[in-house]
Amino acid sequence: MNTNTTEEIEIIRATSSKIDTVDFENLTFGNVFTDHMLICDFKDNKWQKPIIKPYEPFLIDPSAKVFHYGQAIFEGMKAYKDDNDDVWLFRPDQNFIRFNKSAVRLAMPEVPEEIFIGGLKKILDLERNWVKKGIGNTLYLRPFMIAIGSGVIAQPSTQYRFMIILSPARSYYSGEVKVIIAEHYSRAANGGIGAAKAAGNYSAQFYPQKLANEKGFQQIIWTDDATHTKLEEAGTMNVFFKINDTLYTAPVSERILDGVTRKSIVDLARKEGIKVEERSVLVDELVAAAKDGSLKEIFGAGTAAVINPIVGFSYQDTYYELPKIENSTALELKQKLINIQYKLAEDTFGWTVKV
Ligand SMILES: Cc1ncc(COP(=O)(O)O)c(C=O)c1O
């Protein structure tokens, strides 16, 4: 593996910027991209020189392994702008580590830090005008890797493409989120790829997600594949349950993505003196808590949505509505996390990294 430094990343600038054509007040998540993208190919058993160039489509052979065998992984992270116009990343080291864990699980080459973190900083520096000030405004960062080697034989590719694309975003979810608890379908299994941020984990959810949407639910809370009795995570969020005064969230496992927001919420909550237990919550326990009134809150936690309160859940065709509460722990923790991300509160954890 060669050792590219950030200085070695070549930049070909776009001749003009499309930024003035973008309506930053009315963005739908993930549809608009900035002027540039980063590309770095892996071939001849080593990473080549990364390049930042104007955002544009590219050609790949129709027999490329990504199309046939799904060797594709990604990350999702955000950049924030503070009141002094400085741009910040939130725990990028965690995304870097997780990306390479996904790479190993999908038999793909690990990406060196100089390319992943160095590349992120370099492209963000170039696109800093796309990071808008003000809470709720972010630039969503999508590093990803695909297998571009050709040949329809079911074996790992020898050629890969690592890329970073950037998309200005506002808050992800709007409106009330009602969830349905998975009783038949699964997103992950022991020994599978659930803990990797692999493209196939998401396509596997689309059909059950569609069925849930048709029934009026925005998300599914997945349960363990073997027994469907343990609550695990939602589409792109880890899930927390507040029962009495304790927050519960499933422990990370080979079926659950090790969310950066999840671990930050656990640390933040503990610092605030809130009791947190990382242990499996049983569906029966949740139903019982909903019935006897000890279930206070359910919320999802993830980069895109930050924290998303859930208003009710359905299980075995019965819908359980959560109580309306005034001092929601979800919103209190969300505010604290956002204050750190936007540099409005002291970052005692050392999570924020300046670009
Ligand atoms: C399956 C899944 N679980 C949880 C999360 C939350 O992880 P993070 O907080 O790192 O965004 C995500 C989003 O990345 C996800 O795709």
Q: Which tens digits make up the pLDDT trace of 41-54? A: 999 999 999 999 99
The two beta strands, 318-321 and 230-231, are unpaired
What pLDDT is recorded for position 326? 85
Is the model's pLDDT at 172 over the cut of 80? Answer: no
User: For the ranges 82-91, 185-194, 324-333, which has the lowest average pLDDT?
Assistant: 324-333
* Residue identifier of the C-alpha nearest atom 2 of ligand 1: 236
What pLDDT is recorded for position 174? 58
Tokens of 331: 């919103």
Is the model's pLDDT at 311 over the cut of 60? Answer: yes
Ligand 1 atom with the smallest distance to the CA of 94 is: 10
Task: Render pLDDT for 287-304 as a digit per residue (tens, 0 to 9).
Answer: 999 999 999 999 999 998
Is the model's pLDDT at 177 over the cut of 70? Answer: yes
pLDDT band at 2 (very low <50, low <70, confident <90, very high): very low
Task: Render pLDDT for 208-253 as a digit per residue (tens, 0 to 9).
Answer: 999 999 999 999 999 999 999 999 999 889 999 999 999 999 999 9
Among the listed residues 95, 42, 293, 81, the one whose alpha carbon sits nearest the alpha carbon of residue 168? 81
Task: Render pLDDT for 113-155 as a digit per residue (tens, 0 to 9).
Answer: 999 999 999 999 999 999 999 998 999 999 999 999 999 999 9
- For residue 205, give every residue at least 6 positions away whose Cβ sits within 8 Å of its Cβ, in sequence order, or none: 187, 220, 235
Ligand 1 atom with the smallest distance to the CA of 303 is: 11
Provide residues with CB under 6 Å of ligand 1: 76, 233, 236-238, 257, 259-262, 302-303
Tokens of 274: 């809130």
Q: Which residue has better confidence, 325 or 40?
A: 40
Q: Residue 38 and residue 54: Cα distance in Å, rounded?
A: 9
Ligand 1 atom with the smallest distance to the CA of 75 is: 14
Q: Residue 355 and residue 346: Cα distance in Å, rounded?
A: 18
Report the percentage of the chain scoring pLDDT > 90.
Answer: 92
Spacing, Cα 75 to ligand 1 middle (Å): 9
E-assigned strand segments in 4-107 = 10-11, 36-43, 46-47, 51-54, 72-74, 77-81, 87-90
The best mutation among 73, 144, 257, 299 to test binding of ligand 1, ranked by most ligand atoms within 8 Å of the C-beta, falls on 257
The best mutation among 99, 222, 265, 303 to test binding of ligand 1, ranked by most ligand atoms within 8 Å of the C-beta, falls on 303
Taking residues 107-111, report their average pLDDT: 98
pLDDT band at 7 (very low <50, low <70, confident <90, very high): low
Taking residues 327-337, report their average pLDDT: 94
Among the listed residues 1, 6, 14, 98, the one whose alpha carbon sits nearest the alpha carbon of residue 55? 14
3-state secondary structure of 58: coil
What pLDDT is recorded for position 304? 87
Task: Render pLDDT for 150-160 as a digit per residue (tens, 0 to 9).
Answer: 999 999 999 99
3-state secondary structure of 308: strand
Is the model's pLDDT at 173 over the cut of 60? Answer: no
Domains belonging to the chain, first-starting first, are 10-171 (3.30.470.10), 178-341 (3.20.10.10)
Report the percentage of the chain scoring pLDDT > 70.
Answer: 97
Average pLDDT of the chain, as a whole number: 95
What pLDDT is recorded for position 3? 43
Spacing, Cα 61 to ligand 1 middle (Å): 31
Cα end-to-end distance, the chain, whole Å: 26
What pLDDT is recorded for position 4? 44
Ligand 1 atom with the smallest distance to the CA of 98 is: 10
